Structure 1
Amino acid sequence: MTVHHSEPPPGSHLSSSRCPYGAASSATLPAYPLPIYGPEFSANPRATYAQLRTLGPIAPCEIAPGVHGYITTTYRSALYLLRNTPTLFAKDPAHWQALRNGQVPADSPARMMMQPSPNALWLDGDAHARLRGAITDSLAWIDTHALATAVARIANRLLDRVTALEHADLVSDFADPLPMQVLIEMFGCPPDLGRTIVLAIAQLFDTTQDAARVNAELEAACLALIRLKRHQPATDVTSWLVAHPARLSDAEMVQQILLVIGAGTTPSTNLIANSLLLLITDERFNGDVHTGVRPIADALDHALWEDPPISNYCPLYPRDHHTYEGVLLRPGAPILVSFAAANSDPALDQGSHRRSGNRAHLAFSAGIRACPAPDLARVIAEIAVEHVLDRLPDLTLACPQSDLVRRPGTFHSGWTSLPVSLPLTTTTAPHSYGGPR
């Protein structure tokens, strides 16, 4: 990707006469902020992160057409923002000046992913603590052994279908439906509502251009689930949220469900697919994992370092004018935390061979905004990957790796498909795995 000096990037709404960050800093900025969306970015996001890093530890970017902000480019800057939230940096999008001024298009994908809502992700202070507490308390009720059993059952059911196919796609046939079906069970969600919710969340993460309609469908489906559980509670996450002492309103319930399901589905799909691709194509892992020399957990950690399923998110807003490592940050503009740029920061001086089993990555964020249930995410991904390896040994890609296409989107990192050639013989049931792989 190159910086355009004479013409704005396609889709940019900037005029050639001004910089969106103010005249005082324009001398140190490129003529147009680098876009972190579109086919060129999706095809090679690391090239964009490397170019952004040359502009500073926090660099200007175009988040979506006509939507501007900043993005962290180093591990240090990402941790700095996350560890100084909410003292120096707020999460509430009410601080977003362009949104307050009506300058963010109603159908912008960035607006759908970053706009205010009564949601633990977007609030600060006591409001954040109350809603996050309801989420973490409810998730703590999940029996991880029962979850593991459910994931194994769902994985085997999906793999039974895969083994009957002449050509298989490990994204559409396995990694996509598995988290959806797991979350449907966790939330006690009827299948029709579950499919509506997860499909809509996937479309939002893919930065659909029809985001307003999708968001409306999503909220309606969640509200129907809440009303069902208020009248017919059961042993599921939705019912535990309904019964929590925080006494969440219907509107708050909708947003907490969206947050947890959104964090548990598309990102889990990406983690499963990214890990499977690593195990299929990287000889450092495929042999050692199959022979038990290296556990699957190490391969997951490597994938979380190299290709985190949520690449850029957690927008934060400076509470006041603030200078970080020579970069002046002004109130009003969002700063995205780039987990992908942090993990690939050359300043870490850590070879990829040292990342297996190393959990210092930022794939699950950090600080008070860290993922509330990373262990549950790992259970789902690890068991899913384990069952693929057990049922489908000696998998190979059915196309050159260079032909694989990344999913579109600013906010996450995954693959549109993972076509594989099945081995001549496949197992009809999982192997016994009493010990760690």
Structure 2
Amino acid sequence: MTSYRQPGLVLTDRRFSVPLDHADPEGEQIEVYGREAVASDRSGDDLPWLVYLEGGPGFGARRFIGRQAWLGRAVQEFRVLLLDQRGTGNSTPANRQTLPLRGTPGRQADYLAHFRADSIVQDCELIRKRLTGGARWTVLGQSFGGFCATHYLSVAPEGLRTVLITGGLPSLHATADEVYRAAYPRIRRKVEAHYARYPQDVDRARRIAAHLQAHEVTLPSGGRLTPAALQCLGILLGSGEGTHQLHFLLEDAFVETPAGPALSDAFLENVQAALSYAGHPLYALLHEAIYAQGQGPTAWAAERVRAEFPEFDAEKSLAGDAPLLFTGETVHPWHFETDPALRPLRETARLLAERKDWAPLYDPARLAANEVPVAAAVYHDDLYVDTAHSLETARAIRGLRTWVTDEFEHDGVRAGGPRVLDRLLALARGEI
């Protein structure tokens, strides 16, 4: 272990060997990384543990500098483990460079089938026992981390002292199709709100999309920017500052060149930063699988369901006078053609989309009998997680207390500083 300091914190790198397949504990092992954070003035104290599960799938735990955001509140009373879930961050990586070590796309898909919430929670249980000597710990789950926390409550509540969920109460039953069928109208509302705030962006977005329709445009990475890829910038609208970020991105897209108007290098660089999956390929590979629960293949649900909402068809919008609608948290087959970080994995992605044997993730009966204190922040009209689905699940988990708010978007636990965590702790403890 290596320890070092940041302002107000002592940090320690921790690495854990865990089975790739927990059904075969003596089989292949992979590494999971966690960054321990404790207040400098309490580093020698016997503190309870809090493990943070980041959103995603496919993102390592947020890299804080000092006591940023909720972490400053957490270290007042916890020793915190910022966990890079398997395949992410400093854990054994899974990407276009490493997955070929597994062999064929079929073998790669079989390998990645062990990277959902069920395996992540089993990792957590092994790590908990090694770190705490068997004591229970608190889980803070953001977004997909909340999905993992809900699975944790379903399969191993004996390891949990308290569960805190922010923007991540999943439906216990909805298929991937039902998730996206609820998502597209929600996405449209977010886009309409953006255009109401920034009406000049209606013409800007249409002009950019028309240019992409008429020209082949390549991003600095070598990826192709198409009208459909441009629409994916709508994913920004799920954060508190996202509507403003999208506006600033669109406002200076073009430059004049000897050949006429062209999309600027700066614009293309910023678009690439927003859309590339190079840093989180598991998000694209496993995103629909997080909704799969023994209900057959997901079969590119976002792409199929989008056809039910023709207003999102960029070609039809440009042929008339309708605004271009951005999309949100959706992954499509063409991502594995246009993004160089995903292109080598397109066959693996296809096999995952066709996979039929995904195990159920939640146990409604066990959740109905829950005895672990649980509190959840539910963000009103959250872009990424359907509010109606979240509230239905909240009612299904015994004793869960909700805080429903429109003060924040999906990133409330980060944007709200210590306030969100402070309120969830108070709710879970019955202090309010």
TM over 0.5: no
Normalized per residue, the structure richer in helix is: 1
Normalized per residue, the structure richer in strand is: 2
TM-score of the pair, normalised by structure 2: 0.28
